[in-house]
Amino acid sequence: MRVLITGGTGFIGRHLAASLLRQEVVVRLMGRSFAPVADLLAAGALPVPGDLRDAAAVDRACAGVDLVCHVGAFSAPWGRRADFLAINLAGTAHVVAACRRHAVQRLVMISSPVVIFANEDMHEADESWPYPQRFCSPYALSKKLAEDLVRNATDLPSVILRPKAVFGPGDQAMLPRLIAAARSGRLPCIGDGMNRVDLTYITNVVQAIELAMVATPAVGRTYTITNGEHVLLWEVLRDVFRRVGIRKPLRRRPLKMMLALAGLLELHASLSGREPVLTRYSVNILARTQTYTIAAAQRDLGYRPCVDVAAGIEATLAAMGAG
């Protein structure tokens, strides 16, 4: 099988590529910066430099492959709406068009449960959960619109996966940023500290993607992917902080106050053009309960998360030289 991974130079794409290479799949990696994937190139992955905003580059990348895993995206708590739409929406349109043109057998698109997050607590959400009236961030809006494009391309066999809060070795976004914020004393415990969330260890995400590449009942469907454990977010974070040597206890701050502060910081950022240290989106993500059911993925994909949160944290800290 010949597989193109857009975003093959990023966190999830790199882990997926490594796993597929071990199974002797022919792997193409699309991205812009190949420095982080020297090991994968040495192992036989083929680099396809290109920008998702460039339709011709995407078209070339998709020529001659059997399957496309569309992992690449601009995923950030802050950024210009135009950039989110250009990379995540127009980029996905280019991927869909190229898959059709080259008769790719299946497209697996990585979306996010953030598309249904309405800045409120959510319990045991499944894939029928409605999109909110107002999206919680431009990133969420762009991913929802990209989902629509993929879902509406009914002549192209596709599967949409929504992994929640992915962590593991090589992640630069989630745990490393929270650890840095806690170390510098900038991270309070927001709200009552009792919110439960689902996290997803990277190996489990890779398993889900590989299942989605082949499972017959999955075509045309959307699946939430998590570890299937509803953990107390702040308990997990406190444990991580303690293990990386952060001794100072987190101060507690009310959610309302933090939302007001983040709103002010966003206003300042929109004037200065510099990313705020906190956004209302990040505050809500850290303070709200967000739990999901993975029953559909278990039923249709045969998905069985094989690394639990505790073991995943262990492996992540070990890779960071901590713990």
Ligand X SMILES: NC(=O)c1ccc[n+]([C@@H]2O[C@H](COP(=O)([O-])OP(=O)(O)OC[C@H]3O[C@@H](n4cnc5c(N)ncnc54)[C@H](OP(=O)(O)O)[C@@H]3O)[C@@H](O)[C@H]2O)c1
Residues of this chain that bind ligand X (CB under 6 A): 7, 9-13, 31-33, 51-53, 71-75, 87, 110, 112, 163, 165-166, 173-174
The tokens describing 229, both together, are 């454990």
Minimum separation from the CB atom of position 192 to ligand X (A): 24
Retrieve residue 263's tokens.
């709103």
110 DSSP β-pair partners: 161
Of 74 and 234, the one with the shorter C-beta distance to ligand X is 74
Q: Which CB sits closer to ligand X, 75 or 195?
A: 75
Task: Return all residues near 192 (Cβ < 8 A) that are at least 6 apart.
Answer: none
- Collapsing DSSP to helix, strand or coil, 268 comes out as helix
Q: Residue 264 CB, nearest distance to ligand X (Å)?
A: 27
Taking a C-beta distance cutoff of 8 angstroms, is the pair 46, 29 a contact? Answer: yes
The least distance separating ligand X from the CB of residue 170, rounded to whole angstroms, comes to 8
> 104 with 41: CB under 8 angstroms?
no
The encoded tokens of residue 93 equal 């349109």
Contact of 4 with 30, CB cutoff 8 Å? yes
Order the strands of the 290-292 sheet from edge to edge.
Answer: 122-125, 290-292, 196-198, 230-232
Nearer to ligand X, 13 or 188 (CB): 13
CB atoms within 10 A of CB 82: 9
DSSP 87: I
- Given the structure tokens 């029953």, which residue do they identify? 295
Length of the chain: 323
CA distance 213 to 308: 23
Q: Which is nearer to ligand X, 80 or 252 (CB)?
A: 80
Structure token digits, residue 242: 């303690």
Which residue has its beta carbon closest to ligand X?
10
Nearest C-alpha neighbor of 229 from the set 124, 314, 113: 124
- Residues annotated as part of the active site: 139
Return the number of the residue (58 or 287) whose C-beta is nearest ligand X.
Answer: 58
In the complex, minimum distance from the CB of residue 25 to ligand X, in angstroms, rounded to a whole number: 18
Return the number of the residue (19 or 261) whose C-beta is nearest ligand X. 19
